[in-house]
Chain A
């Protein structure tokens, strides 16, 4: 029988610990597949964040470093400056990247560090049980915004792609979602482009992936996907914010 599909070699044969309906697993798979398809896996060092994916070093087959909360872009900078020919990526959630690690991501992008960031935005702190994140939508109920996020006292969501796209060092910035087959294919294309940008040494690349958290949103997996497509995409429009014209496949 012809083999038409198999588990990517970029992931170790270890079961994920993620909740039912969480899209981290899809994003992990896409990153791993791209690294294998580009022949980069053996020369890649990934950086794990703090949050639900703190231990994704147990899943990715490449070398991995685990970073303190928010510091992954600085850790990745250190790795890349030692190993300029390696592929270095960070995998970060919205609490890690857009709250405690804001300085690190902004300055890694501003320096044009030749690293790739996979930014998984699910509008909430998942690991610590559903607190308000910088990316939480206005009116969204979380354990620390029990009456819904109120702009008067809790401010407004941060649109990371739009913010980073103002920096010259951030040469490729795109937001995707993984709520449909079409979306997943587009996300993989974006992740591939981000790693090719790094391979060509063009500068900093980031792909934001709108993701789900059924457990902390209090929604079913299907409702969660629908909420990403409606509410989240209204606040965080999909698209390329920097580098739409970059040609990296040649």
Chain B
């Protein structure tokens, strides 16, 4: 870390860790996996300074189970991992959703499937936004695109998790975790709920016992619980959509991209403008809830001829774009996998092809 006036030059992974501590997280449970190990390194040191707890768990499954226990006891708890480790945590994700425990998980994505590779990818979009674990549940998914945003969204994640009693997942990619950029610490804390009267902290003889559970054997009671969860998710969809848009007014082509590819696309917007092609960008910051309405409104624009989704996968978010566009305009896709990043030139070539009517994928 180095100082640039009041800004601090930090690695993305370090920014996540520092943000968590500043948001009041004092319980971190991790298991080593590249490319997010710096978060654990940082926590191992910093937690001692701030009187917090760092536990290196025996597995990703144990780490998320420790988060379950700590969150159930009322703490702001976090675990972080990368794609294969996040797969292991899906059991815990489902139980946490069922038991309505607020917590924060970070996935600094690498390539898959399987052990894949350690370079950046976005192949976990489906897993992050469509489930991954069993049952009907949602995680609130935030997608940062800079180290500053990693910092800010991590702070926000704790407040959102507490507000809705959900797991808030930060879906970053390995580029963001490993890159260094200046970070300005935010002064405002992540607001806490007035009370967590549901937490298991010991009855102190003052109240009936509290129970944290996700099992409801009686089908009528379980369906009521399911409906309650769905109502909560609907409220999140109404209140929490975040999205950045660039140049949609008069755009010929609208590109959708999140995380690192969105940064590349921003340069492509300028390059295309030089050729007289007006390219707009929709960058979802919440992947769930997805900015469906914003995409749908763009599809209604007369100037817009087509959509292009640029992702580090074989085409995952593009399905949500297609659902939002709902057949009103063609939706194309440009993706790279295996840790490869698209160049500005190749994205521009795809845009040119779409303009010529040759289309992308």
Q: Using a CB–CB distance below 8 Å, which chain A residues touch chain B?
A: 12, 41-45, 47-48, 54-55, 57-58, 60-68, 71, 74-83, 86, 103-104, 106-107, 111
Q: Which residues of B contact A57 (CB under 8 A)?
A: 209, 211, 213
Verify A60–B209 contact, CB threshold 8 A.
yes
Q: Which of B165-210 contact A (CB under 8 A)?
A: 200-205, 209-210
Say yes or no: is B68 at the interface (Cβ < 8 Å to chain A): yes
28 A-B residue contacts at CB 8 Å?
A: A42-B203, A45-B73, A48-B213, A55-B215, A57-B213, A60-B209, A62-B202, A62-B209, A63-B200, A64-B212, A66-B99, A66-B212, A66-B215, A67-B69, A71-B61, A75-B72, A76-B69, A77-B69, A78-B27, A78-B29, A78-B73, A79-B69, A81-B55, A82-B70, A82-B74, A83-B201, A86-B201, A103-B62
Say yes or no: B202 contacts A71, CB within 8 Å: no
Range, interface on chain B? 35 or more
CB of A78 within 8 A of CB of B65, answer yes
Task: Say how far B179's CB is from chain A's closest CB, in angstroms.
Answer: 32
Interface membership of B125, Cβ < 8 A: no
B residues 44-100 in Cβ contact with A at 8 Å: 53, 55, 57-59, 61-63, 65-75, 77, 91-92, 95, 99
List residues of B (221-270) whose CB comes within 8 Å of A's CBs: none
With the chains together, A71 CA to B93 CA distance in Å?
13
**Residue from A47, A61, A71 having most chain B Cβ neighbours under 10 A:** A71
Would you give the shortest CB distance from B350 to chain A, in whole angstroms? 44
B68 closest partner in A (C-beta): A75
The 4 tightest CB contacts between A and B, nearest first, are: A78-B69, A74-B65, A63-B200, A78-B70
Bound Cα distance A85, B342 (Å): 53
**Contact at A82–B58, with CB atoms within 8 Å?**
no
Closest beta carbon of chain A to B59's beta carbon, Å = 6
**A residues in contact with B67, CB < 8 Å:** 78
Which chain A residue lies CB-closest to B98? A66
**Given A68-B92, A82-B70, also A63-B203 (CB < 8 A):** yes
Residues of B within 8 A of A65 (CB): 68-69, 72, 99, 200, 211-213
Report if B214 contacts A (CB, 8 A).
Answer: yes
How far, in angstroms, from A169 to B242 measured CA to CA in the complex? 47
Further pairs besides A42-B203, A47-B69, A107-B58: 5, Cβ < 8 Å? A64-B200, A66-B214, A68-B68, A68-B91, A78-B69
List A contacts of B71 (CB < 8 A).
78
**Residues of A close to B92: CB separation below 8 A:** 68, 71
Contact B73 A79 (CB under 8 A): yes
Q: Assuming A82-B74, A104-B65, is B58 touching A45 (CB within 8 A)? A: no
Minimum CB–CB distance from B340 to chain A (whole Å) comes to: 36
CB distance from B54 to the nearest CB of A (A): 9
Report the Cα distance A77→B77, complex, angstroms.
13
- Picked from A43, A55, A74, the residue with its CB within 8 Å of the CB of B57 is A74
In the complex, chain B residues whose CB is within 8 Å of the CB of A62? 202-203, 209
With a CB–CB cut-off of 8 A, which chain B residues contact A71?
Answer: 61-62, 65, 68, 91-92
Chain B positions within 8 Å of A43 at CB level = 202, 204
User: In the bound complex, what is the Cα–Cα distance between A44 and B200 (angstroms)?
Assistant: 9
* Residues of B with C-beta under 8 A to A77: 55, 62, 66, 69
Complex: A80 Cα to B77 Cα, angstroms: 13
Among residues of B, the one whose C-beta sits closest to the C-beta of A80 is B69
Beta-carbon contact of A67 and B200 below 8 Å: no
Residue picked from A78, A81, A104, most chain B C-beta under 10 Å: A78
Chain A residue nearest in CB terms to B213: A66
Most buried by A among B27, B66, B95: B66
Nearest-CB distance from B168 to chain A (Å)? 17
- Shortest CB distance A146–B (Å): 29
B261 to chain A, nearest CB (A): 35
- A82 proximity list for chain B (CB < 8 A): 27, 53, 69-70, 73-75, 77
A177–B71 Cα gap in the complex (Å)? 35
Residue of A nearest to B201 (CB): A83
List residues of chain A with CB within 8 A of the CB of B217. 55
Contact B211–A74 (Cβ < 8 Å): no
Closest approach, in angstroms, between the C-beta of A54 and any C-beta of chain B?
6
Tell me the bound Cα distance from A64 to B204 in angstroms: 13
A41 proximity list for chain B (CB < 8 A): 203
Contact, CB under 8 Å: B66 / A64: no
